[in-house]
Amino acid sequence: MKKLVSAQDVVSAAERHESIYVDGNTIVTPQARDVAKERGVCIQGGPAAVRPTHGSPETCHEAGLPHEEEGGEPVLSADELERVITAALERGIWTKDDIEGLFGREGHSADPDVVPVGVSGRHIHLSQGDLERLFGTGHQLTPIKDLSQPGQFAAKECVTLAGPKGVIQKVRVLGPVRPQTQVEILAGDTFKLGVPQAIRLSGHLEGTPGVTVVGPEGSVVLDEGVIVAARHIHMNPAQAAERGFHDGQVVSLKIDGERGGLLDNVIVRVTEGGNLDCHIDTEEANAFHVKCGSTVRVVR
């Protein structure tokens, strides 16, 4: 029996930062191949291999991945493909719209108002100077996990936040370093720390509260830089043009499901280094039963 690799399998692999390994007994759907390229997931082995569009282009090649071959034998015969599709429809795995998309039927296009979700917990971005004060002279961040935005990563390093009313330990540092230290916390964290809520976009730090940051080699007292991140959608100029968005546009998010609803005041951020992803925090995600890799609908 043939194994099927779907787009959701690729999304799950992206969340775990894993590659997908296939053989001659595997079919990779066209949508899965597109998602793999978009999210940087390497599908290795056999004619279904896909290299991600970002990251090192040699990654899969060095692992013995052959280039895609044109005119090769189809993975499934016509009869086998028909049985797979029929079974998927009967079991509710695919809808008719999914099938139209898989085969690129005329008139079908991706819904420009459906976007993937990334869920953010509390974290901190450090300047190089503050990094060295907290972890020692010359210290460099140790990446442990790539994030959805190209070039950004979660680091091994963690710090403690100390406010007038309490502390929060094990706050993850994200990299790379920035010109100014920025602390992103949850709304509920402001009560524990005893600081005002300042809902801002990243980088908009003027007039925000401060906090004391404690590391293994020292501490830093910030006069400003603590924010509750405003909801936002990242994308690059090409993605914005394709979907009809512009930088600074304010939209809403329609979330389906048992605890679905509407999230307002979501800001579109169009940057050259961006990649399509809607960012909400863990409190918002928990309230609506949303997880990383889910999709939501933009209401303009």
Pair (187, 250) in one structural domain: no
Q: Report whether pLDDT(102) > 70.
A: no
Place of tokens 């991945």: 65
Structural domain for 267, as ranges: 231-299
The verdict on residue 91 lying in a domain is no
pLDDT value of residue 252: 98
The pTM is what?
A: 0.66
Q: What angle do CA 251, 254, 259 make, to 5 degrees?
A: 140
Burial of 80 (0-12, 13-18, 19+ CB in 10 A): middle
The verdict on residue 92 lying in a domain is no
pLDDT digits (tens, 9 = 90+) for 234-287: 999 999 999 999 999 999 999 999 999 999 999 999 999 999 999 999 999 999
Of 173, 201, 228, the domain-final residue: 228
Report the CATH number that the domain containing residue 240 is assigned in CATH: 2.40.40
Q: Report whether pLDDT(120) > 80.
A: yes
Average pLDDT, the chain: 85
Question: Average pLDDT, stretch 86-99?
Answer: 69
Pair (188, 244) in one structural domain: no
pLDDT digits (tens, 9 = 90+) for 77-89: 677 777 777 777 7
The verdict on residue 269 lying in a domain is yes
Of 183, 208, 228, the domain-final residue: 228
Question: Average pLDDT, stretch 135-158?
Answer: 95
Q: Report whether pLDDT(217) > 60.
A: yes
Domain count across the chain: 3
pLDDT confidence band for 2 (50 / 70 / 90): low
Of 13, 267, 21, 56, the residue nearest 150 (C-alpha): 56
The verdict on residue 78 lying in a domain is no
The verdict on residue 114 lying in a domain is no
The verdict on residue 144 lying in a domain is yes
Pair (164, 189) in one structural domain: yes
Copy the structure tokens of residue 261: 């609803």
pLDDT value of residue 55: 46
Q: Report whether pLDDT(106) > 50.
A: no
Question: Average pLDDT, stretch 65-69?
Answer: 39
CA dihedral 149, 110, 10, 264 (to 10 degrees): 50
Of 228, 260, 282, the domain-final residue: 228
Of 83 and 92, which is predicted with more confidence? 83
The verdict on residue 175 lying in a domain is yes
pLDDT digits (tens, 9 = 90+) for 5-38: 887 788 888 878 788 888 777 788 877 888 888 7
Copy the structure tokens of residue 173: 């540092």
